[in-house]
A and B are shown apart, each in its own frame.
Chain A
Amino acid sequence: MNLSKKQKIDLFNTMLTIRRFEERLFDEFYAGSITGFVHSYIGEEAIATGVIAHLKKEDRIVSHHRGHGHCIAKGADMKRMMAEIYGRKTGYCKGKGGSMHIADFSIGMLGADGIVGAGLPIATGASIAAQLEGKGNVAAVFFGDGACQEGEFHEALNLASLWKLPLLFVCENNGWGVNTSIGESFGAKEITRVPDAFHIAHKTVDGNDVERVYQAAEKAVARLRKGSGPFFLECKTYRWHKHFLSDALPDLRPKNELEAWKKKCPVKAYETKLLKQGILTPKKIAAMNAKIMDAVEEANQYALASPFPKPQDALQDIYSK
């Protein structure tokens, strides 16, 4: 289906928001104000944006260690995200999770899991719930090419196939697990050969082209809502930064590879396209950008103004009442 002008602007706005949020994290990390593990989503924004645009609040997603983009696209509050990343009491997890474990169950964001592949079995459960509720809701799970090497991946595909679960598998294939290429770690070579073996419908798209992702996800989610079983969407992309932000961690990926992918920046490419189509003007873009920058600044200020948890707060929330 053709996208309306508003839909296009929304997609661009979400991508730009993720980009600006992640850029701010990058700056604050290297300025020393944010500490700990931070995995940047820069370069992959089109995937979370294009997929989650089709999900309702009642649809549930499961994310991974590189999960900020999924949270923002699902409608999470950047202030509480930022506070969590700063380890503050006002964060989504009261400072107990940090950057890798942001969750907001009230908007169907069932959390980010830091063990590669671990979100997949959890997401099968979320989709069983959707199936039992019978309201046409779906679940989506985001994971990378690295997760496809884990047994959890194959088990989740098997279950989803057997039980016709309304589960959208979104593989963010950025070609690298830390510094190990997929060529060195994945015997099937083409990831979609695996869902294919389980009779799961699949499609591979340019994960840097937000409209391609959007259109593929639109068809996939419509299928899921009708109860036609799971769908596997592979989005080819590239991460711009190291596995996580760090001075110590080396980046062993070929330099020319990164440069080539930077030329295919999902945000810049869409901006150029929308300018050409006359949907956006430089002035409109500047206004959008200013608004986003304000929101990111506000989130950062909120985090900085928020108190740290008390040491003894570590003893709370081990169990639910």
Chain B
Amino acid sequence: MREITYDQAALEAIQEEFRRDPRTVHMATDLPPELRQEFGSDRIRVTPIAENNFVGASIGLAGSGFRTVANIRMATFGFVALDQMMNHAAKITYMFGGQAKFPILYRMTVGGGFQGAAEHSISPYSMYMNVPGLKILLPTTPYDVKGLLKTALRDNNPVVSFEHFLLGGTIGEVPEKEYFIPFGKADIKRKGTDVTVVALAKMVHEALAVAEELAGKGISLEVIDPRTLIPFDKQTVIRSVKKTGRLVVVDEACQTCGAAAEIIAFTTSDKSAFGKLKSAPVRVCGMDIPIPFSPPMEKFALPDKKKIIRAVMNVLGD
């Protein structure tokens, strides 16, 4: 199968859907040349640096029958747009009694580990999970990003895709034939029997590397990538934990009130899974600090393979 980058796969999803549906608009503060060339400047708009404005304009377009892709770039810039995102995009379908559809795809990058320092590094998806009304994606591979964005571009709700900054250039298999990945369907990226590892964003790749390493030592990890945080495929996690009896959740977002806490909460609240637990679940998260600039401190703040291995050994009782 052909291999392309994560960014190319995401672009393909948008190109295919923009060809299919002429009532689509792309807005971002910088120009995606491939899109501008193919779809023209009316539909592919370069906006002023006013995130709140174009996040809100997407809502007005949606309410007027257009589908918009708004690329916010970094999640830290997304904070500038929180009025429109949280007070409006998330709520209007509900607040207006479901009388209109708001088909919008918001994209932004998350994560740290590239010396962006605190104002360019963050993984705030759990904040968005806490405001009902949005659907939330966390694509981790070229295959997943294309399939999930294709689904997002047929969905009639505001969807937020959080894409790890360091995944854009990664390469993976992507079929040429059209496909869609449904929301709320986790992907078991590696089957295993001893420990369930639920990993988010770039940590999926770290967890897979750990699984490979530990396999050599006779330890079998099951690595689950939820792929969408809202809706969340709880059953796949619960089923796996009932099998392994052990749960480690890896997320580079800060630990406090994060998605990892929610994953452990719903798993341990499930009586059948709780009864099967052989040890207390463990979180491996980013530290509760702003991401620092200097490499030794930055590395210290974020989860890595070593920290994941330590957590796995912990739940195995070693």
Contact = CB atoms under 8 A, between A and B. Distances in A.
Contacts of B96: 92-93, 96-97, 101, 103, 105, 111
Given A60-B64, A320-B93, A320-B98, A159 B53 contact: yes
- Which residue among A124, A125, A127, A159 has the maximum number of chain B CB atoms within 10 Å of its CB? A125
A103 B53 contact: no
A127 B64 CA distance: 9
B52 A130 contact: no
Contacts of B93: 317-320
B94 A96 contact: yes
A139 B65 CA distance: 14
Interface stretch (B43-51, B118-126, B196-204, B232-240): B43-51
Interface string A156-198: 1011001100000000000000000000000000000000000
Interface in A76-134: 91-97, 101, 103-106, 110-111, 113, 115, 118, 120-132
A316 interface: yes
A156 B84 contact: no
Contact of B64 (A125, A158, A320): A125
A10 interface: no
Interface residues of B, number: 44
A104 B52 CA distance: 24
Contact of A122 (B48, B57, B99): B57
A126 B56 contact: no
Contact of B60 (A103, A129, A321): A129
Contacts of B100: 103, 105, 110, 320
B83 A128 contact: no
Contacts of A91: 97
Contacts of B97: 91-97, 317
A316 B132 CA distance: 12
B293 interface: no
Contacts of A282: none
B189 interface: no
B164 to A, nearest CB: 26
Contacts of B83: 115, 118, 152
A162 B48 contact: yes
A14 to B, nearest CB: 24
Interface residues of A, number: 47
A151 interface: yes
B94 to A, nearest CB: 5
A121 B94 contact: no
A124 B58 CA distance: 9
Given A122-B88, A125-B63, A158-B48, A92 B56 contact: no
Interface of B: 23, 25, 42-43, 45, 47-48, 50, 52-66, 68, 83-84, 87-88, 92-102, 132-133, 135, 156-157
Interface of A: 60, 62, 91-97, 101, 103-106, 110-111, 113, 115, 118, 120-132, 139, 151-152, 155-156, 158-159, 162-163, 316-321
Given A121-B55, A125-B62, A159-B47, 20 more contacts: A91-B97, A92-B96, A92-B97, A97-B97, A104-B99, A110-B100, A121-B84, A124-B60, A125-B56, A129-B65, A130-B64, A132-B43, A132-B66, A139-B60, A152-B53, A152-B83, A316-B98, A319-B133, A320-B156, A320-B157
13 contacts: A92-B97, A93-B99, A105-B100, A110-B100, A111-B92, A121-B55, A121-B56, A125-B56, A125-B63, A125-B68, A128-B57, A155-B53, A159-B53
